[in-house]
Structure 1
Amino acid sequence: MSNTGSASFLRELNPNRVEATKREALLENPGFGRVFTDHMVTIRYSEGRGWYDAKVVAHGPFSFDPATLVLHYAQEIFEGMKAYRLPDGGAALFRPDANARRFRNSAERLAMPALPEPLFVDSVRELVRVDREWIPRTDGSALYLRPFMIATEAVLGMKPSPDYLYCVVATPVGSYFKGGASAVTLWVSENFTRAAPGGTGDAKCGGNYAASLAAQAEAIREGCDQVVFLDAVERRWVEELGGMNVFFVFADGSIQTPPLTGTILPGITRASLITLARDLGLTVREEPYAIDQWQADAQRGKLVEAFACGTAAVVTPIGKVKGRTHEFTIGDGNLGLVTARLKSALLDIQNGRAPDHYGWLDRLF
């Protein structure tokens, strides 16, 4: 295997693959992240040897020493991406090169070895080709892919591990939120922040999500679907949701989203929507937006729509925002015209229903 390029994967196929009729029954309503395909990809890394032992193996558990570093010091990163069924029966990934770059950047921030980008893309392609029958055919569904890397040295020492395991698992998924296109209600977190300057906010690591769970639990207790975080310094500027970027749509047709200043995850869906919006003739600003201004603009009709976006949730309208000192409805509280237009434009490209002028689709078969 090359340490800088693509790899040849040894296939050790699962002898106990899910029978076809049972698989089709599971694909009818898979939910999100609860049903897994027959296989996974694994690649090992050791200091001095580099990346080696690339395999496709049966999906199954790992065995680790209780002192394994990832369990104690959270050296772990991951990605989220999808494979889509195309109208002609083929399948494609959406912008896997962008996921590969972000995975490399996350690794560097967590003091982990950078997986070569071609190897990352090849690993995902390989798994989708092996488990191609697990890609759902129903509208709004896809095969969600979870590449991740963990530190595997068994030692209780505060240091980067010399050994790592990279893995890709796959799960057929439907809508991330119950109700599909229904608008969600957000809870403004005042007690918790997601990320601070100089931290890991722009890396996709498990610690960021673990730190958001208490705030998310608070949101659920308050009858909301998701939490929205403010900045850690002034507790004033809207940053992102627990796992999604956020956009604001104004009555003049312009769009705004918080800038990438190191505390916000650089979402691939976010970047794609900015490109699509501008090509549709919309003005897009990447500028800070205060929570008090959001409320004031919504109440006087200057702001008419807002939506969250990400690989899992795609484009999700925001209907209401609540907090200890905030409560307001956006527009009529439902899916807005601009949000619907952007969502449709994105999904049409991802699912092969519209021409891909950007070269975003990576066709697999």
Structure 2
Amino acid sequence: METATMNIKIRRTEQSRINQLDPNNIAFGTLFTDHMLVADCVNGVWQTPEIVPYGDIAYNPALASLHYGQSIFEGMKAFKNEDDEVLMFRPLENFKRFNISAERMCMAQVPEEIFIGGLEELLRIDAAWVPKGEDNSLYLRPFMFASDVYLGVRPSQNYRFMIIMSPAGKYYSTPPKVKVETEFIRAAPGGVGYAKCAGNYASSLYPAKLAAEQGYTQLLWTDAIEHKYFEESGTMNVMFVKEGKIITPAVSTTILKGITRDTLIQLAKSMDIEVEERKVPVVEIIEGIADGSVTEVFGAGTAVVVSPFAAIGFEGNDYVLPAITHDSVSSKLKDALNAIRTGKVADTFGWVWKV
């Protein structure tokens, strides 16, 4: 049976898979909720969105996105508070960034009522899938791809926007060991590094594979011109703690403007922790780890939240970082962030969005 809610057509699943969810054993990105949202933009006009049972989608072999890479996405999370209410975190920032990516990739702009309204309605229907527990959340993946059936290099005239959702636990079971990448590049000035497009991640797979063969969990990307300055890591922005101060690369056209990154900067400043956004030379951090002035290096991102690094590999040597304690800067920031996202403390920033 189909019903219309908020101008969204809804067709519910006949058989829920909620019994497959074990909140104590969640593997990231492997289990998906009962429903998904689908909305098509046809010749510049958005059609009525639909929420349908999660499942496969059919596509034509000449689908433009398969050949020319017009595909973007966002990563978001939803949580439950102690009253079992569902909370989203800073969804308007993801909505704005999604359309910035769309503009750079010459794609259609998604209206707020489809992006935010679709998220809200989908979360109401699948609220039971939001897992409780420390480090648990429901990962939200809005994405869009070109849907023209045409072999020719030009912007597509048609697009499909979708949202799928997946229960998530802790992303890294142990602190990652990362390698400073000085041969391959993630993004170059004037490119698409600031857009959350699929191609950015595809191009990173080969150097990440080589690093994994050397025993590293992730890469720390450096600038494309000199390989002298840090940019970001594979799944996250990066922050360094030097003499009690946070240092992080300033965002640019080669660095994704992370929402978790921005959140942590605001939190740190509210806690009277000094923050510097600037170019960060690789040698400064390596020497700082060696002389003890750099005490923490951690990643910041939706999936990883706050992820301290165990060691950094550079020019054949591994530089081991001190063990993280409850009093570490990264621990304080993570605890403060989690308390706000799950409604345990008052949200004085206006970040939490109750569904």
In the superposition, the TM-score normalised over structure 1's length comes to 0.93
Q: Among 185, 199, 209, which residue is 1:193 paired with?
A: 185
Alignment-mate amino acid for residue 348 of structure 1: A
Aligned equivalents of 2:189 and 2:256: distance in 1? 13
Alignment-mate amino acid for residue 243 of structure 1: T
Q: Among 21, 24, 36, which residue is 1:40 paired with?
A: 36
Aligned equivalents of 1:23 and 1:289: distance in 2? 45
Residue 292 (structure 1) shift: 1.2
Deviations 1:85-136 (A, max 9, x none): 1111111000000000000000000000110234311111111111001010
Could you list the runs of 5+ residues in structure 2 that have no partner in the other structure?
none
Residue 325 (structure 1) shift: 4.6
- Which residue pairs with 2:171 in the alignment? 176
State whether structure 2 residue 207 is matched by structure 1 residue 215.
yes
The question of whether the paired residues in 1 share the 8 Å contact of 2:38 and 2:162 is answered with yes
The question of whether the paired residues in 1 share the 8 Å contact of 2:76 and 2:302 is answered with yes
SS state of the match for residue 177, structure 2? strand
- Which residue pairs with 1:347 in the alignment? 338
Aligned equivalents of 2:56 and 2:220: distance in 1? 34
Superposed, 1:1-365 pairs within 5 Å as 8-18=7-17, 20=18, 22-24=19-21, 26-48=22-44, 50-179=45-174, 183-251=175-243, 253-330=244-321, 332-334=322-324, 337-364=328-355
SS state of the match for residue 28, structure 1? coil
Deviations 1:120-168 (A, max 9, x none): 1111111111100101022210000100000011111001110110000
SS state of the match for residue 53, structure 1? coil
Aligned equivalents of 1:284 and 1:215: distance in 2? 31
The question of whether the paired residues in 2 share the 8 Å contact of 1:104 and 1:117 is answered with no
The question of whether the paired residues in 2 share the 8 Å contact of 1:320 and 1:333 is answered with no
The question of whether the paired residues in 2 share the 8 Å contact of 1:101 and 1:117 is answered with no
Aligned equivalents of 1:7 and 1:205: distance in 2? 29
Aligned equivalents of 1:248 and 1:140: distance in 2? 23
SS state of the match for residue 111, structure 1? coil
Alignment-mate amino acid for residue 138 of structure 2: L
State, as a whole percentage, how many aligned pairs show the same letter. Answer: 37
Aligned equivalents of 1:103 and 1:267: distance in 2? 12
Aligned equivalents of 1:271 and 1:242: distance in 2? 18
Aligned equivalents of 2:335 and 2:133: distance in 1? 16
Residue 308 (structure 1) shift: 0.3
Residue 214 (structure 1) shift: 1.0
Residue 324 (structure 1) shift: 2.8
Count of residue pairs brought into register by the alignment: 350
SS state of the match for residue 63, structure 1? coil
Could you list the runs of 5+ residues in structure 1 that have no partner in the other structure?
1-5
SS state of the match for residue 227, structure 1? strand
Residue 27 (structure 1) shift: 3.4
Deviations 1:304-362 (A, max 9, x none): 111101000000001210133553122x2445611100111111101111110011010
Aligned equivalents of 1:171 and 1:115: distance in 2? 22
Which range moved further: 130-139 or 266-275? 130-139
The question of whether the paired residues in 2 share the 8 Å contact of 1:39 and 1:58 is answered with yes
Which range moved further: 183-192 or 236-245? 183-192
SS state of the match for residue 27, structure 1? coil
Distance 1:245 1:222, change over 3 A: same
Which range moved further: 99-108 or 137-146? 137-146
The question of whether the paired residues in 1 share the 8 Å contact of 2:238 and 2:299 is answered with yes
Aligned equivalents of 2:268 and 2:314: distance in 1? 30
SS state of the match for residue 102, structure 2? helix
Residue 302 (structure 1) shift: 1.5
Aligned equivalents of 1:128 and 1:210: distance in 2? 29
Residue 290 (structure 1) shift: 1.0
Aligned equivalents of 1:244 and 1:188: distance in 2? 14
Residue 46 (structure 1) shift: 1.2
Residue 7 (structure 1) shift: 5.2
SS state of the match for residue 309, structure 2? strand
Aligned equivalents of 2:323 and 2:312: distance in 1? 10
Aligned equivalents of 2:68 and 2:323: distance in 1? 42
Aligned equivalents of 1:308 and 1:345: distance in 2? 16
- Which residue pairs with 1:3 in the alignment? none
The question of whether the paired residues in 1 share the 8 Å contact of 2:258 and 2:301 is answered with yes
The question of whether the paired residues in 1 share the 8 Å contact of 2:265 and 2:275 is answered with yes
